[in-house]
A and B are shown apart, each in its own frame.
Chain A
Amino acid sequence: MAQPLAFILDVPETPGDQGSQEPSPYDESEVHDSFHQLIQEQSQWAAQEGLELQQREQEATGSGQQTLRRPEGTQSTATLRILASMPSRTIGRSRGAIISQYYSRTVQLRRRSSRPLLGNFVLSARPSLRLYDLELDPTAREEEEKQSLLVKELQSLAVAQRDHMLRGMPLSLAEKRSLREKSRTPRGKWRGQQGSGGVCSCCGRLRYACVLALHSLGLALLSGLQALTPWRYALKRIGGQFGSSVLSYFLFLKTLLAFNALLQLLLVAFIVGPQVAFPPALPGPAPICTGLELLTGAGCFTHTVMFYGHYSNATLNQPCGSPLDGSQCTPRAGGLPYNMPLAYLYTVGAGFFITCITLVYSMAHSFGESYRVGSTSGIHAITVFCSWDYKVMQKRASRLQQDNIRTRLKELLAEWQLRQSPRSVCGRLRQVAALGLAWLLCLGTALGCAVAIHVFSEFLIQSPEAAGQEAALLVLPLVVGLLNLGAPYLCRVLAALEPHDSPVLEVYVAICRNLILKLAILGTLCYHWLGRRVAVLQGQCWENFVGQELYRFLVMDFVLMLLDTLFGELVWRIISEKKLKRRRKPEFDIARNVLELIYGQTLTWLGVLFSPLLPTVQIIKLLLVFYVKKTSLLANCQAPRRPWLASHMSTVFLTLLCFPAFLGAAIFLCYAVWQVKPSSTCGPFRTLDSMYEAGRVWVRYLEAAGPRVSWLPWVHRYLVENTFFVFLVSALLLAVIYLNIQVVRGQRRVICLLKEQISNEGKDKIFLINKLHSIYERKEREERSRVGTTEETAAPPAVLTDERDD
């Protein structure tokens, strides 16, 4: 933040000093042009009354030669009344001042000029200029005039702008309604004039009735839509009891649901649907469904539309004409041929592309909402003014919020004290050493987990006897899930040992470490699948296996999450209440839970290519997670004590979802599509060298087909084949540019506010100087005249005393 401006009124100590007469507003070079005329008028009027700016006695220096601070109880009531009538103070409480302020804003909007000229106003609307002419109380008559001026300005605006302006005014509903009625009058008159003819008035009334009916229908639809929003009451209850921080977790869950639903809709429409309509021949008798399929995804799920292997590699619904690529001839008249491999490839690609665009847009939007220039400074004021969450409605939750705010304020004060007395070099070195050690240990844990998983998966590959049983397939997901669950607890214990100055930084560091762990684990698994499993499973359907593995991981993640909720929250609460006799319930760890959600979503995106129905599994899982977490939260947990900047965190989570999670899945997809040879026994790409070749084959077929569709191969060759990478880079660049634009917009908003405030300060300063001078001068004049009358009656020595004093 900039240095605070100090307004120092430089008043000389010694009277009778002609050289340094105290500065009058005329001489100040900072007096703005528009005030100059007014100040001249004011001083002329004052001069007519016999008021002149002269040298001051001691009582004037009491108010000067320091900042314009109001020394308590030393100023006269007149000065206090003046200060209370100051423009910057009346805007906060007087309706007339609000109307004036919005009048000037409307004028600015209309004329697009920086400041309206003084000469154009009959009666100026700004409160500092004319209103307080030495009349200290605004009269109702002047308010009426200001209101009529505002109405006139509003009439000249467009309707949408006028409504927008009215909605932004902090006035009561009745006043806004009256302003709107008044500003609408000319159109009503005009409408009345037009409706003077009989037929015309009928049409006009009918049209008006239609418009009104449509308007109310639209409003009814809107309110219906709002009522249909899923979980509205549940979210309100959670927000009311726990505040915005915990609510952000559930809102993030809703966002993920939306992403999955969108992706699944696309896949069902273009891949699953057609394949279900034209089922291929099954390789053998369908195995009997035992209950284990729900966990392993193998067994009777294998040869269904759930996995890649079931999809045919031919053109569906091919008319019995030329059997071009060895497709089955279905004797059905009519219907379009549907090229399955092409559809599979392009639908998955389009799904990822749309998800990418939506993700980047929502991330940038959230960033624009949450980022503010200068939001790190002024933390005390922001905490005191903005930290009370009005959504909280229960008494107990309200008391908890008060506790949290008190703790936060004490922490802020302690941090501030610490910053005033900085730590010694020794202390800082110790802090850095402890931090470095903790980071090293956490990174070592992540690396250790990755190595352990690698070794274990290699062991599973080498031991074929275990691979025979279906239940053995669950071992790897279980091990990975347990590591995923346990390692963050370990990191949290390590974090408790290291010293942290700022609690907010602690949260970010914990998220970072958890994320590195999960990335390490997922990276190892991806190498295991695409590197090792493909090599081992040559001749079999490896894509089915990878799809099933991801299904297993998703299900196991859900099961372990249930167990973690059960033991981490329910059992812990019972233990802490009964055994340890503590009143405090376990906290709801938001960061860890959100990272779990991101992990699950990454698994879904990794598996979409090999299992087109995986988003449905994720949707079911998210629905169950919502209800489980909500129940557990309401019964067992309390809101976290750590400070939580909800909007910042939402942006951080969306960014984490986009960059490591989605980007990693996209890289995995690209590698699988371009570099890996699909298996030759199953799936839509069984005859090709890579999945991407399906597109190339089709383009070649189109080239041979004739000149009518020759533009498509051309597009494919020059835009898609060549410049895909450039597209990616330019898309990233566009995202960065958009982020930048949002940042700059936020900064400009702050600058506008600052300018308006500084202009107010200038007005205040000059106004105050004028008023104080005139008031004190009047007082002195009265006192002099009173002293003069008593002097006349007193003895002459009084006069001598006066002279001797000089």
Chain B
Amino acid sequence: MGGSGSRLSKELLAEYQANPFKERICRVFSTSPTRDSLSFEDFLDLLSVFSDTATPDIKSHYAFRIFDFDDDGTLNREDLSRLVNCLTGEGEDTRLSASEMKQLIDNILEESDIDRDGTINLSEFQHVISRSPDFASSFKIVL
């Protein structure tokens, strides 16, 4: 499974080829300077976070970092829009229309942005996640 110099590039992550977040997962867990490949320890980190026994705290923390496309510590409208596009599919016929997207992001911010600053930070994200009991079982990879 390892590539040259025992690093796993994101093309080789067989389990996650079908996952639309595979690039973000690679970026979040990677500790290399170019952030595009995983060492064995990074892979262990990944498995540890996605395992059954990881606490919901850790899972929500890493989920937040995966969804934060611009790595600025919050989910702004751009992040949310890219997230929804990942969820629904990138093709032209599978995306939501612009008005639907705007309405959806408005609803999301209305529901989860408590301090009304237009972005969702980690605490607000964890608050939303805590209301969903399915998160821990869906944020899991079985080996």
Contact = CB atoms under 8 A, between A and B. Distances in A.
A760 B86 CA distance: 30
A753 B111 contact: no
Nearest to A168: B55
A239 B140 CA distance: 11
A413 interface: yes
A771 to B, nearest CB: 14
B79 to A, nearest CB: 11
A374 B131 contact: yes
B113 to A, nearest CB: 8
Interface string B84-106: 10011100001010001001100
Interface string B60-91: 01111101100111100000100110011100
Interface string A506-546: 00000000000000000000000000000000000000000
Given A384-B108, A399-B89, A92 B122 contact: yes
Given A170-B57, A398-B18, A386 B129 contact: yes
A764 interface: yes
Contacts of B20: 388, 398, 402
Contacts of B142: 236, 239-240, 391
B106 to A, nearest CB: 9
B73 A92 contact: yes
A385 B21 CA distance: 12
A567 B9 CA distance: 46
Contact of B117 (A1, A69, A168): A69
Interface residues of B, number: 73
Given A173-B48, A375-B131, A386 B138 contact: yes
A371 interface: yes
B15 A393 contact: yes
Interface stretch (A36-44, A131-139, A265-273, A403-411): A403-411
A70 B121 contact: no
B65 A92 contact: yes
Contacts of B87: 384, 387-388, 402, 405-406, 409
Given A68-B115, A89-B74, A380-B107, A645 B45 contact: no
A392 interface: yes
B38 to A, nearest CB: 11
A791 interface: no
B42 interface: yes
Interface residues of A, number: 78
Contacts of A648: 133
Contacts of A6: 116
A761 interface: yes
B23 interface: no
A757 B73 contact: no
B133 A406 contact: no
Among A244, A377, A382, residue most surrounded by chain B Cβ atoms (within 10 Å): A382
A371 B133 contact: yes
B104 A413 contact: yes
B31 A172 contact: yes
Given A84-B72, A395-B18, A372 B57 contact: no
B137 A380 contact: no
B11 interface: no
Contacts of A646: 134, 137-138
A392 B18 contact: yes
A63 to B, nearest CB: 13
A292 interface: no
Nearest to A765: B115
Contacts of A172: 31, 41-42, 45
A391 B138 contact: yes
Contacts of B80: 384
Given A1-B111, A397-B18, A753-B127, A391 B41 contact: no
Interface in A756-806: 756-757, 760-761, 764-765
A386 B134 contact: yes
Contacts of B64: 92
Contacts of A370: 133
Interface string A57-85: 00000000001111000000000000010
B72 A93 contact: yes
Nearest to A417: B103
Contacts of A379: 111
B114 A5 contact: yes
Nearest to B29: A172
A249 B44 CA distance: 31
Interface in B19-50: 19-21, 31, 41-42, 44-45, 48-50
A394 interface: yes
A416 interface: yes
A335 interface: no
B74 A764 contact: no
Contact of B96 (A93, A167, A410): A410
6 contacts: A4-B114, A244-B134, A380-B107, A384-B84, A391-B142, A402-B20
Interface of A: 1, 4-7, 67-70, 84, 88-94, 167-170, 172-174, 236, 239-240, 244, 369-375, 377-382, 384-395, 397-399, 402-403, 405-406, 409-410, 413, 416, 645-648, 749-750, 753-754, 756-757, 760-761, 764-765
Interface of B: 15-21, 31, 41-42, 44-45, 48-50, 55, 57-58, 61-65, 67-68, 71-74, 80, 83-84, 87-89, 94, 96, 100, 103-104, 107-108, 110-119, 121-135, 137-142
Query: What are the 9 tightest A-B residue pairs by CB atom distance, in nearest-first order?
Result: A89-B73, A398-B18, A92-B122, A170-B61, A378-B111, A406-B88, A92-B73, A757-B123, A88-B121
